[in-house]
Chain A
Amino acid sequence: MNNDNNTIIDLPDQATARIPQPNFISKENGLMSWLLTGDHKRIAILYLISITFFFFIGGALAGLIRLELLTPQADLMATDTYNKVFTMHGIIMIFLFLVPSVPATLGNFFIPMMIGAKDLALPKVNLLSWYLYMTGGILALYAMITGGVDTGWTFTTPLSTHYVNTNVITTGFAIFVAGFSSIFTGLNFIVTIHKMRAPGMTWFRLPLFVWAHYAASILMVLGTPVLAIAIVLVMLERAFGIGVFDPAKGGDPLLFQHLFWFYSHPAVYIMILPGMGVISEVISTFSRKRIFGYTAVAFSSVAIAVFGFFVWAHHMFIMGISNYAVLVFSLLTMLVAVPSAIKIFNWTFTLYKGSITFETPMLYAFGFMGLFTIGGMTGVFLGASGTDIHLTETYFIVAHFHFVMVGGMLMAFLAGIHFWWPKMTGRMYPEKISQLAAVVTFIGFNLTFFPQFILGVLGMPRRYASYPPEFQVLNVFSTAGATILGVGYLLPVLYLIWSLKYGAIAGSNPWQATGLEWQTQSPPLTENFVVMPVMDHEAYDYEWLESQKAKEVASAG
């Protein structure tokens, strides 16, 4: 029992503790038992390895971008190559990293456990999702190696259909395939959450992580198919010249953008909602308090999902849509910020009068709250069409989305990985170096991206390999920050792998957290639970946890 006030970590006696056998990792051996598994936990690990792989490729491309932008001239690579680098960076980071990051790893692993089920509703579809993801990913890499694509991740027509000579069709097809991976994951989650909850697990006893994934899954299921058809039309236009986006034949290039952004705006909520789910869990655990306004946070997740469908044309304010459309979409964009803000307020009120400790997941969560707030607020600035006209297509946009996606989502992902690492592997990661990595990441991030807000306001356009010399100083800061950020991301890979062999044995509940997943062994059994749990308490019920412990002590004695 750890009575140290500075931490809530509670590990078993290391002299006698062992990794429990059997567990889902040791149950079956051999490559085929992993490649043909139906176990949601194994599929989650497969995803974790693959997205980490793609993350570092995307990161290397980011490194190339920042290297080029050290100097005002386009002197490191040809401008066409630079276009390919930032395009592939965007495609890999968005479709192959951010979209599946939390849902496919932590969501896959923990949703069944959190609701008291033995697996997701459709295990074979889950495995199919991973194979579709890998197929899409490998195709994207193939496209990159055999010439790349330079349209920007947004594939804007008519550039992508009529003016470039690069692997648009291959890359488009890769994203098409990866999109179905996302659709099937979302479909699986919705069905599971509706139909597989344990007795007593009512909707309002679910962890907010589950609510967040439910909302994100609605977006995945309803939004991604529209991206699919947009890509199909681009491929047909390129291959056969059907004319649907070709002004010479009467087509409207803007139609592509409507279809593309109809998905891609909800996509940003697909990316952030699961991260917000992680933050709810982490903030509750490390303040030892129920999330303030559980119902508000739950409903705000769904509200973000619903409103997220109404605002897509705020990406198109300068593209030629009517002024009336600009007006309506700008107003609606103001609305969609409200549920996100509600969450931030509720998390803050959770912290108030909580018993706060600063383990690594909590450090990342604090980072999230600050950086996501800045990113989200700048989103409101951009949602106002008057300011957007000046700031769009500048580095302000780049800074905005990196704040929400990297400062927000990626930090939430790291928070989740660290929070659930002991449950997934049975081992604790080394706390000191991980706290150092979190701080390094935070510093590196701010140094990289804050100057970009200033650059944007000063007028530096995005997607250019060269820029006016007066912008160099800020660009140098940004590149320096990127180097530090790289270190911050590399450290976890190293120490997490280290911890697999040398980390402390974690036991079933090192954080003394509520939630059904913490009531089982670490790593869990293949079937999660030996006996189906019956849920008889509310979510985040720390009193219930205390009474469980008291019962344990009583019965052990």
Chain B
Amino acid sequence: MPDNSAIAHGAQESVSAANNANGANSAHPEHPPYLRHHFESVEQQADTTNFAMWLFLLTEVMFFGGLFTAYLIYRNWYYPAFVAGSHQLNVIWGTLNTVVLIGSSFTMAMGVWCAETRRRRGLVLSLSLTFVLGLCFLGIKSIEYHEKWEKHHVPGAHYSLQSFVDPQSDPEVFKEYHDKALMPDMARHTEIYFSLYFAMTGMHALHMIIGIGILAFMIYRARAGAYTSGHVTFVENFGLYWHFVDIIWIYLFALLYLISRHQ
């Protein structure tokens, strides 16, 4: 809760705001231009928007939570199908993507530090690196998706059980894991694995795309010095979002790619 001196200041503020036509975002002598008039102080505004972003992340936790629940149930029921499906994912691409995304979290955190310490060029560099790493991630993901499409592992009309009822028809994967052939009914359940794979990584990728779009906007504004003159909340709150997307991937990687890679 704001302390009383800020409120006394705010009281004068609101009187002048009441008298101010339309309450436009012009700079008054008492406060910076980015302070919105329904807030009493910059601190309250920063505090409030930060809390709001955390609450939004809670909604994202519950949104992905539904998918994780579905995943855990079906992995429990159809473990052999999930193992076979997971072997179809390239662990090198997956690990590389994980490293890329963790790296982008690092550069994003550095960006927040640059904004806080008013390093404009450092901020632009950090955001640009984050942007590039984000694009890398999506690039690798699209390579993986394309491969799945080629092998008819995308759920729907063109889904094929070939690789699972007859593993030797898929030499690259067979070479690595020597999977036994699945019974047809268990093989059919691999489609659920891939449904969840595409739903979860697809939803994650959608969040990445949105994040990258916002990053582009932020780089443009950062170059103009918008975030390095004391108003860091936008960068901070975006950072929270970006780290959250990273955390989702950390779990997706462990659950989807690393089911059981041992021979």
Contacts and interface: CB of A to CB of B under 8 A. Distances in A.
A252 to B, nearest CB: 7
A195 B199 contact: no
Which range contains the number of B residues in contact with the other chain? 35 or more
A196 B14 contact: no
A244 B58 CA distance: 25
Contacts of B188: 249-250
A225 B60 CA distance: 7
A243 B67 contact: no
B149 interface: no
A223 interface: yes
Interface in B21-66: 23, 36-40, 44, 47-49, 51-52, 55-56, 58-60, 62-66
A243 B192 contact: yes
A197 interface: yes
Interface in A156-189: 183, 187-188
A250 B78 contact: yes
Contact of B11 (A183, A187, A194, A531): A531
A351 interface: no
B263 interface: no
Interface string B167-209: 0000000000000000001001101100110110001000000
B216 interface: no
Interface stretch (B68-76, B107-115, B126-134, B220-228): B68-76
A531 B58 contact: no
B189 A249 contact: yes
B10 interface: yes
Contacts, number: 140
B247 interface: no
Given A122-B52, A191-B48, A226-B66, A532 B11 contact: yes
B66 A230 contact: yes
Interface string A477-495: 0000000000000000000
A255 interface: yes
B7 interface: yes
Contacts of A125: 52
Interface stretch (A4-12, A234-242, A459-467): A234-242
B149 to A, nearest CB: 13
A225 B58 CA distance: 9
A119 B38 contact: yes
Given A240-B156, A242-B155, A532 B7 contact: yes
B1 interface: yes
B92 interface: no
A187 B185 CA distance: 45
B15 interface: yes
A497 B56 CA distance: 38
Contacts of B36: 123
B155 A240 contact: yes
Contacts of A293: none
Contacts of A241: 155-157
Contacts of B74: 244, 250-251
Contact of A242 (B38, B48, B77, B199): B199
A197 B7 CA distance: 11
Contact of B196 (A197, A226, A244): A244
Interface string A314-344: 0000000000000000000000000000000
B54 to A, nearest CB: 9
Interface stretch (A146-154, A356-364, A522-530): A522-530
Contact of B66 (A118, A249, A251, A259): A259
Given A243-B191, A250-B74, A250-B78, A221 B55 contact: yes
Contacts of B67: 229
A187 B52 contact: yes
Contact of B156 (A242, A244, A259, A527): A242
A255 B73 contact: yes
Nearest to B63: A225
Contacts of B65: 225-226, 229
Interface string A49-62: 00000000000000
B68 to A, nearest CB: 10
Contact of B58 (A120, A197, A221): A221
B138 interface: no
A33 to B, nearest CB: 10
A121 B62 contact: no
A224 B59 contact: yes
B77 A250 contact: yes
Contacts of A187: 52, 55-56, 59
A187 B59 CA distance: 9
A435 B1 CA distance: 42
B66 A229 contact: yes
Given A194-B51, A226-B66, A250-B74, A530 B195 contact: no
B52 A191 contact: yes
A228 B63 contact: yes
Given A191-B52, A252-B73, A527-B17, A226 B4 contact: no
A191 to B, nearest CB: 5
A466 B149 CA distance: 49
Contacts of B40: 532
16 contacts: A118-B38, A191-B52, A195-B44, A198-B7, A199-B2, A225-B63, A232-B203, A240-B155, A242-B198, A249-B188, A249-B192, A525-B18, A527-B14, A532-B10, A532-B14, A534-B7
A-B CB proximity, top 8 nearest: A229-B66, A242-B195, A225-B63, A119-B38, A225-B62, A250-B189, A118-B38, A195-B48
